[in-house]
Amino acid sequence: MTTIKRRNFAKTAAVGTAAAAATTVVGTPAISQNRTEWRMVTSWPKLFPGGGTHAERFAKRVGEATDGRLTIKVFAAGELVPAFEAFDAVQRGTADCMSSTPYYYQNKARVLALFTTVPFGMTNYEQVAWLRFGGGQELWDEIYGRFGLKGFHAGSTSVQMAGWFNKEIKSAADINGLKMRIPGLGGEALRKLGATIVNLPVGEIFGALQSGAIDATEWVGPWQDLAAGYYKVAKHYYWPGTHEPATLNEISVNKAKFEALPKDIQQIFAAICGDEHATTTAENDANNAGALATLITQHKVQLKRLPDEFIKAYAKGWNEVLAELRESSDALGKKIFESYYKFLREQMSWTRIGMQEYLNARLTGFKFD
């Protein structure tokens, strides 16, 4: 009897030890329990220069910096949701974060355009200064908080080109009846001149321009426009891009999911957003000059300046839109407008003396053979 009991005890102990070992193997590594995988949706075609490559680079950097504790799987426009539904996907939790730009969602609140760009508004450098040191980020947090989101600026195209046209623009009258793809409040200002405005994601623009569904489009600048191939279907390439002097992109997150992350990962995520802003902006600046030369010399694009008469008429249309927006905005919207334009006026008092006069002087003083 005693022998049987000893055998049973030994057998039970062995089973218990094996179970404990199995529990240890399954339960560990503890690090596996602390790993989080997010889904990012974007408004860009897969690996498209600029937005598409930036999203993949950002995801890779977050995974490496967190040692795999937060990994991000990137879904290009159309892979999980359409390009302009990224905001809704993050809001409802279908995705955890997005690479996009706020003015695509001005149907949620028209004032969101101020966190991307507005006609005759701040440059990239001024807008980042507003976000970081002028109270802009706090206002962005407040309005995105209504939708359960938090935004981070993560790249800028700086001043854009005015766009591609299938005919020459000699005056503001040439805009009347024109069908143009142009998003944001810049498009609303063109409506004042009689244009018909269409908003299309980049993946649909070329086909629409080629088929004649639209007569003109703006996209970004030489580097990204060259990649999109617009020179194949339109030869008139206009500047300056008074409609988009900054054009900030965003990496925005589902606020509740972000706040559930460990604090150190939140800080890493935010820091990489900031560094990606500098990297993506520099990438655009570095590539635009060479791409513009390619468009002109290899593809015989006709580079033209918009007439002063058009710029004045466009400014008049924009000021009408701006007055209407301010009047129709709620208390938070009015607060955002007041903050943005107060900061812009202050910046202009300096940039007029600093940057603008320097650039004028450089045209006179710089000689290069």
pLDDT tens string 118-173: 999 999 999 999 999 999 999 999 999 999 999 999 999 999 999 999 999 999 99
Give the pLDDT score at 241: 97
Question: Is the domain of 98 the same as that of 202?
Answer: no
Domain at 210, CATH number: 3.40.190.10
Give the pLDDT score at 225: 98
The residues, any chain, with a CB within 8 Å of residue 98's CB and separated by 6 or more, are 40, 41, 42, 43, 86, 87, 89, 90, 250, 251, 252
Residue 151 covered by a domain: yes
Give the pLDDT score at 53: 97
Question: Is the domain of 218 the same as that of 340?
Answer: yes
Task: Give the Cα separation of 326 and 136 in Å (integer).
Answer: 17
Question: Is the domain of 48 the same as that of 85?
Answer: yes
Task: Give the Cα separation of 42 and 92 in Å (integer).
Answer: 15
Backbone φ and ψ for 290, nearest 5 degrees, come out as -65, -40
Question: Is the domain of 189 the same as that of 237?
Answer: yes
Give the pLDDT score at 6: 37
Q: What angle do CA 122, 125, 127 make, to 5 degrees?
A: 45
Which of these ranges, 20-24, 320-324, 345-349, has the smallest mean pLDDT?
20-24
At 179, the pLDDT band (50, 70, 90 cuts) reads very high
Residue 183 covered by a domain: yes
Residue 25 covered by a domain: no
Give the pLDDT score at 88: 98
Question: Is the domain of 237 the same as that of 270?
Answer: no
pLDDT tens string 263-298: 999 999 999 999 999 999 999 999 999 999 999 999
Question: Is the domain of 130 the same as that of 223?
Answer: no
Task: Give the Cα separation of 174 and 223 in Å (integer).
Answer: 27
Strand 216-217 vs strand 163-165: parallel, antiparallel, or unpaired? antiparallel
Largest CA distance in the chain: 109
Domain at 118, CATH number: 3.40.190.170
- Structure tokens of 158? 């700086």
240 prior amide bond cis, ω within 30: yes
Question: Is the domain of 64 the same as that of 167?
Answer: no
Token look-up 């407040």 returns: 142
Question: Is the domain of 241 the same as that of 325?
Answer: yes
Q: Cα–Cα distances in Å, from 163 out to 59, 159, 178, 313?
A: 31, 12, 13, 17
Question: Is the domain of 100 the same as that of 177?
Answer: no
Question: Is the domain of 87 the same as that of 137?
Answer: yes
pLDDT exceeds cutoff 50 at 230: yes
pLDDT exceeds cutoff 60 at 7: no
At 16, the pLDDT band (50, 70, 90 cuts) reads very low
Task: Give the Cα separation of 349 and 363 in Å (integer).
Answer: 22
| Averaged pLDDT score across all residues of the chain | 92
pLDDT tens string 67-86: 999 999 999 999 999 999 99
Total number of domains constituting the chain: 2
At 2, the pLDDT band (50, 70, 90 cuts) reads very low
- Structure tokens of 117? 């760009």
- Helices 136-145, 124-133: axis angle to 10 degrees equals 80
Give the pLDDT score at 19: 38
Average pLDDT over residues 11-29: 37
pLDDT exceeds cutoff 80 at 352: yes
Residue 182 covered by a domain: yes
Residue 305 covered by a domain: yes
Task: Give the Cα separation of 11 and 30 in Å (integer).
Answer: 30
What are the DSSP calls for 240-279, one per residue?
--TT-S--EEEEEEEHHHHHHS-HHHHHHHHHHHHHHHHH
Task: Give the Cα separation of 187 and 173 in Å (integer).
Answer: 16
Backbone φ and ψ for 238, nearest 5 degrees, come out as -105, 150
Question: Is the domain of 79 the same as that of 145?
Answer: yes
Give the pLDDT score at 368: 74
- Structure tokens of 8? 């049973």
Give the pLDDT score at 33: 66
- Structure tokens of 191? 């409506």
Residue 307 covered by a domain: yes
At 12, the pLDDT band (50, 70, 90 cuts) reads very low
Strands (E), 43-148: 70-75, 97-100
Range of 281's domain? 37-159+246-285
Residue 319 covered by a domain: yes
Residue 367 covered by a domain: no
Strands (E), 219-271: 236-239, 248-254
Q: Which of 285, 308, 335 is the last residue of a domain?
A: 285
At 369, the pLDDT band (50, 70, 90 cuts) reads low
Token look-up 């045209």 returns: 363
Question: Is the domain of 226 the same as that of 315?
Answer: yes
Give the pLDDT score at 222: 98
